[in-house]
Amino acid sequence: MAIAYPTTKDYDSTVAEGLWIADFYTSVCGPCKLIDRIVNEIVLENPDVNWAKCNLENDWDMMERYQVQGTPTLIFYLDGEEKARMIGGFHSREEIEDVISRIMYGE
Amino acid sequence: MYTRLHSMPDWRQALAGLGLEGAPDNADIDAAVLRELSRGRVSFAAADGPVEAGFRVTLRTESALPKFNREKTAVTVGGGLYSREIESALIGMRAGESGSAVVKGEAVSFTVTRVERRVYPELTDELARAQGIPGVETLAQYRAYMASKLRGEFAGGVSARLIALLIAGAEMDEPDERDIRAVIDREYEPLRERFAHSGEDIDAISDEQWRKNFYRPELKASYELIYPDIAPFMDTTSKADYYEKRRPAAIETIRECLILNAVLGRDADPTSDRDALKALRAALDEEICGLIFEKGAEN
């Protein structure tokens, strides 16, 4: 498990290997805090799941480049390839785990 | 306040009767320190012993389900991302052993080909400092911080149970209507100030505007975690509706303040101070924390 804080400069290399959840958020976004709590629990229990925390306030260019239309947005990557995307803060832990499980192990 | 408390159970006896199972001990504190400081730094190494929760296991699986019909799959046991049934069956197995489980009604047979345990980094002052917690420069300070955090959380839970017990056993007036109204008024003040700050008068807005501004009932539960001052407005359709819906909470505030004042020997008044209950709760948490943990404080 790794936790990274990428910007546009190192984003692609960060998510290039393994399973990554890129978490796009802002500090003033309430629902982002809900998602943050859930993802934190998942990555603590599953060392194969990596977490790229992308604070848009630090680099607004990421929003356009990765087509983020709102916060929070989670983009799931396996070896650099986008596999899934979840938008909004009201997803359960089970929903997020289902997405990860499908990416890691298939249907 | 017009409402009066007449009697309540002896709070120290009530506390003694609550039982303190689950109070964080040194092992819990050490585990929390290890978990937090090693976040993002855990690796794996071959294990000789049987599989435990948290280990990584490599499997060969056979099943009619494609997901479980693979030559090689690496699974972190206990996380639940692969299959709770198979992960549970893996506990206690060793490399070379075979087992089976039923997943979604289909049989899955598997052979453990490799077992790896977690390897945690050496905990150092540098790791503790890197957490960015004010006043924490060393591992010992981080442990003290974690001990305080866990104990505070536990004491908060005990306080809540104690208050519920004391309210249930107390004799007090039915909360006076003047007190109820005043408590809701105090809670409402920040919103009035917020509107006034942008040149608006919240008391003059129509019910339609109120609904447009605040009515988001589907989001209320989530906002209670993040914006507790806004959440109470999110299932209300007008100011009158707001005052009606806040009555039960105001009644509880009055009852709780009367009890807490008696326990702590204070005279806080929620009808004139909207933070009265918050301050009383914090004081009780501190008192309870001291009583529970004073013997084994820092070791």
Q: Delimit the domains of chain A by residue range.
A: 3-105
The minimal CB distance from A105 to the residues B40, B54, B67 is found for B67
Mean of pLDDT values over B115-125 = 93
Q: Does B46 touch chain A (CB under 8 A)?
A: no
* pLDDT of the residue at A103: 93
Mean of pLDDT values over B107-132 = 93
Question: Using an 8 Å Cβ cutoff, are B176 and B1 in contact?
Answer: yes
> Cβ–Cβ of B81/A104 closer than 8 Å?
yes
Give the residue, A53 or B295, on which the prediction is more confident: A53
Q: How confident is the model at residue B226 (pLDDT cuts 50, 70, 90)?
A: low
Residues in chain B within 8 Å Cβ distance of A20 = none
Measured between alpha carbons, how far is B144 from B114 in angstroms, rounded to an integer?
38
- Judge if the upstream peptide bond of residue A31 is cis by omega within 30 degrees of 0: no
* pLDDT of the residue at A1: 60
Give the residue, B22 or B127, on which the prediction is more confident: B127
Whether residue B163 has pLDDT greater than 60: yes
Q: How confident is the model at residue B299 (pLDDT cuts 50, 70, 90)?
A: very low
- Closest of A57, A36, A44 to residue B225, by C-alpha: A36
Q: Which CATH number fits domain A3-105: 3.10.20.30, 3.40.30.10, 3.30.1330.120, 3.20.20.70?
A: 3.40.30.10
* pLDDT of the residue at B19: 78
Whether residue B31 has pLDDT greater than 50: yes
- A15 to chain B nearest CA, in Å? 15
The minimal CB distance from A45 to the residues B73, B78, B82 is found for B78
| Token couple for A9 | 């400069």
CA distances B272 to B250, B284, B295, Å, are 13, 20, 38
* pLDDT of the residue at B296: 47
Count other Cβ atoms within 10 Å, centred on residue B53. Answer: 13
- B216 to chain A nearest CA, in Å? 14
Q: In chain B, where are the structural domains located?
A: 5-26+131-293, 43-119
Angle, alpha carbons B274-B279-B280 (nearest 5°): 105
ipTM of the complex: 0.73
The minimal CB distance from A33 to the residues B67, B118, B226 is found for B226
Bridge partners of A22, per DSSP, are A52, A75
CATH number assigned to the domain covering B43-119 = 3.10.50.40
> Cβ–Cβ of A30/B222 closer than 8 Å?
yes
Measured between alpha carbons, how far is A71 from A15 in angstroms, rounded to an integer?
19
Q: Does B80 touch chain A (CB under 8 A)?
A: yes
> Cβ–Cβ of B222/A90 closer than 8 Å?
yes
Q: How confident is the model at residue B194 (pLDDT cuts 50, 70, 90)?
A: confident
- A7 to chain B nearest CA, in Å? 19
pLDDT tens per residue, range A25-48: 988 777 888 889 899 889 888 888
Can you tell me which residue has the tokens 């442990």?
B143
